[in-house]
Amino acid sequence: EVQLVESGGGLVQPGGSLRLSCAASGFTFSSYAMSWVRQAPGKGLEWVSAISGSGGSTYYADSVKGRFTISRDNSKNTLYLQMNSLRAEDTAVYYCAKGVAVAGWSYYYMDVWGKGTTVTVSS
């Protein structure tokens, strides 16, 4: 069974840092792109970042570029999101999602999602 389990969320002060992790199992992790998607309270889905299977290609939303870094350790089947200079508007549930780009990045979608981890940025 394909499974994604996020961890690392919590309460952090504005300007602080946090690292999220996503442990993957049930599939060949290195063969798949991965994404982070967040959802602020009462709001819609917002894509945050994506990374290719090898880690050689990364993409970011404008709202987090320069502050967040996506990475992966294929030997540990784990995806990461390093979040620096956190702001109140980064408060959200952060989902890890397995990506599918077998037909090319233009056809990218996310077929399995974790349950999410909550990040709260507040003083």
Partner 1 sequence: SYVLTQPPSVSVAPGKTARITCGGNNIGSKSVHWYQQKPGQAPVLVIYYDSDRPSGIPERFSGSNSGNTATLTISRVEAGDEADYYCQVWDSSSDHPVVFGGGTKLTVL
CB of 46 to partner 1, least distance (A): 7
Determine the interface stretch with partner 1 among 21-29, 38-46, 70-78, 79-87 (rule: CB under 8 A). Answer: 38-46
Of 33, 30, 16, residue with least CA distance to 96? 33
Residue window 63-82: x/- pattern of binding to partner 1, with contact defined by CB under 8 A: --x-----------------
- 107 is a site residue for partner 1 (CB under 8 A): yes
DSSP strands (E only) in the chain: 3-7, 10-12, 18-25, 34-39, 45-51, 58-60, 68-73, 78-83, 92-100, 109-113, 117-121
Selected from 30, 84, 116, 120, the binder of partner 1 by CB under 8 A is 116
